[in-house]
Amino acid sequence: MKNDRDRSVRLLWETPAEATRGPKAALSQARVVEAAIKVADADGIDALTMRRVAETLGSTAMALYRHVPGKSELLDLMVDAVWGETESTPKGQWRAGLEFFARQVWDMYRAHPWMLQLTTSRRVPGPQAMTRCDAAYAVVSELGLAPEEIVAVVTAVAQFVDGVGRTMADRVQAERETGVSEEDWWNGREALWEHFTPERLPMMSHIWNTGGFHRLLDEFEFGLARVLDGLAVFIETEDRPLVRPQTCL
């Protein structure tokens, strides 16, 4: 396992030595990663195989292995390449900076919903992703917070975007697999709606009857504003409480 992990680190952080002449020059690590992203965008990450990527490039799976050792490493490279499509958070006011960071991540997830299936806590991070995170930390560092507070503030924003993004990605995947839109799926649940009565669910029935579920607020815009509002209260409080993680006994 150690060798596999180190191999991803080298692929991500060291410039690959690619052939510039001859048959091998027709392929490159960058071209393989670009083709893999196109496959994932079109059909989802579950459709991604080395064979499928090779077919997209008009090549063979064996030829791909000269540039990318395997699918696991390819996924690491894809994630970092997509992060490279985002812009680094500019210096300035903390709230504007974190909002910029959140919108960049949100746009990334909307363009590539499959990313949410790959953003795990144990995926090897690449230089593009880490550069974006470093810039977000730098914006918050101007507030004079403790190092752990800087991490907590940026993490709160990132986890909010991840949460909303996962809901969006689930909808995209479900529609791709079933061919049925989110709205059509819910509209087809007549048997369920019969149980939503004022006697059993008085508040939900009231909201439904007054149109509340038909005038939903934008979940990303509303949530991001409230997260930033809450962080503003935390930042402006002189005696900020630090919530330490509980240790399991």
Q: Residue 185 — very low, low, confident or very high, per pLDDT cuts 50/70/90?
A: confident
Per-residue pLDDT at 243 = 66
65: its two tokens:
């292995």
Per-residue pLDDT at 244 = 65
- Contact between residue 152 and residue 227 where contact means Cβ atoms under 8 Å apart: no
Amino acid (one-letter) located at 103: R
Per-residue pLDDT at 1 = 42
Q: How many CB atoms lie within 10 A of CB 186?
A: 12
Amino acid (one-letter) located at 109: Y
% of the chain surpassing 70 pLDDT: 90
Average pLDDT, the chain: 88
Task: Give the distance, in angstroms, between the CA of residue 15 and the centroid of all CA atoms in the same chain.
Answer: 25
What is the arithmetic mean of pLDDT over 84-96?
95
Cα–Cα separations (whole angstroms), residue 15 to 4, 58, 117, 241: 18, 25, 26, 44
Better-scored residue on pLDDT, 228 or 192 = 228
- For 49-72, the pLDDT digits (tens) are 999 999 999 999 999 999 999 999
Per DSSP, the three-state class of 189 is coil
Q: Tell me the range of 179-183, 211-215, 225-229 where mean pLDDT is highest.
A: 225-229
Per-residue pLDDT at 17 = 65
- For 101-131, the pLDDT digits (tens) are 999 999 999 999 999 998 776 788 899 999 9
Lowest mean pLDDT segment, chosen from 8-22, 29-43, 179-193, 228-242: 8-22
- Contact between residue 69 and residue 7 where contact means Cβ atoms under 8 Å apart: yes
Q: What is the pTM of this model?
A: 0.86
Question: Which of 249, 214, 107, 84 shows the shortest CA–CA distance to 165?
Answer: 107
Per-residue pLDDT at 2 = 46
